[in-house]
Amino acid sequence: MADGTATTTTYTVAEDGGDPLGPFGTGNPANPSSASVDVEGQVFRFEVTDSTGGNTGAIEIRILAP
């Protein structure tokens, strides 16, 4: 939620419809988190696997390539 009362705590990511990777822990604006995976794809789907409830989502997602 926009007021910060509902937060995502873990998520998975799948590329090109493949099996999900993770779950990965999340960070926050003051303490960001990252996860390194070795995959190739064009379409990446992020799904919340655990949250504190309510309307959750992502503040920022970055996908970096070599």
**Could you read off the pLDDT of 24-58 as tens digits, one per residue?**
999 877 888 888 888 999 999 999 999 988 888 78
- Residue 21 resides in a domain: yes
- Residue 34 resides in a domain: no
Predicted local distance difference test score (pLDDT) of residue 3: 67
Predicted local distance difference test score (pLDDT) of residue 20: 94
Predicted local distance difference test score (pLDDT) of residue 7: 86
- Residue 15 resides in a domain: yes
- Residue 24 resides in a domain: yes
Q: What is the pTM of this model?
A: 0.81
- Residue 45 resides in a domain: yes
Closest by Cα among 64, 66, 58 to 29:
58
- Looking at the DSSP assignment, which residues form a beta bridge with residue 64? none
Residue numbers of the domain that contains 18 = 7-28+41-52
- Residue 16 resides in a domain: yes
Tally of domains in the chain: 1
Task: Identify the band that residue 1 occupies on the pLDDT scale cut at 50, 70 and 90.
Answer: low
Predicted local distance difference test score (pLDDT) of residue 43: 93
Tokens of 26: 């999340």
Amino acid found at 52: T
